[in-house]
Amino acid sequence: MWKFIVRRILITIPQIILLSVLLFLLAQAMPGDALSGLVDPNVSLEQKNALREKLGLNAPWYEKYGEWASGLVQGDLGQSFRFKMPVSDLIEQRMINTFWLSLATLIITYIIAIPLGILSGRYNDTILDSSITGYTYIGFATPLFIFGLVMLWVFGYQLQWFPTSGSVTPGLEPGSFEYVLSKAQHLLLPAISMALIQTVSTVQYLRSEIVDTKQREFIITARAKGASESRVYNKHILRNSLLPIAAFFGYEITFLIGGTVFVEMIFGFPGMGQLFIESILLRDYSVVNAVVLIFGIAAILGALLSDIILSLVDPRIRIK
């Protein structure tokens, strides 16, 4: 099994390298470079060209890639044009914010998905099941950016239960209890909004797994052993149905990335998603690059996580 996991981890290395090469080539294709628009318009073209030569901007792409990549490895993501600061410093705080937002969303997603999926699957084709599947259809059909706005309007502005923007109330001492509480409060509404939409695919998935597993023959074997219905569900159906859900976990991260982009914009939450959109609008390419790279790596690691979880819980995949 360890062999499998090590091999699986090794595969991610070329994946990440390929991702960075593609990303770099795309960035190269974007118009302009570090000098255009940044230097005095009175500087002559010759001087600019000399400067380009000196800075290595005329070097072939693979040389430039090598330089960029070696910077990356050392944690140097370049400079932001807009904020005039290293991209890594800019991203750090936002990454932490997005991490907590994603974690809260994931937890709420599963808190909703598991009971609903189990109820819907166990009592399939009843009114209870129909109303749960009804919710999932609505969830599938509702765009997150509309739903987020409605949630913000209802719970943020009308009921005023939650703050409407930011990630923390200004002026609080970092590390104090009020500070943590305020962070959690700012996190909750975007996380709930995202989870309510995101959870529907997991509910559906779990439901269909349970309905499927219920008809498998080993369930009949379990009943023939004299196991009670609740034992049949807890011991046999649930474990077999939760397995693909556990494996799905890593891919949830990929969906989260898409979700945070919308939700952070709507809720004015200073995270990676918001930074991504802002940087695109400001043509802050080094930041866009860094954010896309981090999103890409997160997706690759999510898939890795899925495979590792599956290899741990499913004996059929344990390769010796």
Partner 1 sequence: MRNKLLEINNLKTSFRIGDNYYAAVDDVSLTVNNNEILGIVGESGSGKSALAFSIMGLHTRAKIEGNIFYKGQDIANISPAKLNKLRGDDLAMIFQDPLTALNPLMRIGDQIAETLILHKPEMSQKQRKERVLELIDLVRIPRPEHVYEQFPHELSGGMRQRVVIAIAIANRPDLLIADEPTTALDVTIQAQILDLIRELKNDLDSGVILITHDLGVVAEMADRVAVMYAGQIVEIAEVHTLFENPLHPYTKSLLNSVPTEGQEKLHVIQGVVPSLQKLPRKGCRFAARIPWVDASAHEEYPELHEVEPGHFVRCTCYSHFYFPDESKEAYAHGNS
Q: Which residues bind partner 1 (CB under 8 A)?
A: 216-218, 220-229, 231, 235-236, 239-240, 243, 313-316
Nearer to partner 1, 7 or 231 (CB): 231
276 vs 291: CA distance, rounded Å = 6
Nearer to partner 1, 25 or 319 (CB): 319
Nearer to partner 1, 157 or 225 (CB): 225
Nearer to partner 1, 49 or 234 (CB): 234
Task: Tell me how far, at minimum, the Cβ of 214 lies from partner 1, in Å.
Answer: 9
Task: Tell me how far, at minimum, the Cβ of 199 lies from partner 1, in Å.
Answer: 25
Nearer to partner 1, 129 or 264 (CB): 129
Task: Tell me how far, at minimum, the Cβ of 147 lies from partner 1, in Å.
Answer: 37
Nearer to partner 1, 63 or 125 (CB): 125
Task: Tell me how far, at minimum, the Cβ of 246 lies from partner 1, in Å.
Answer: 12
Task: Tell me how far, at minimum, the Cβ of 122 lies from partner 1, in Å.
Answer: 12
Task: Tell me how far, at minimum, the Cβ of 298 lies from partner 1, in Å.
Answer: 30
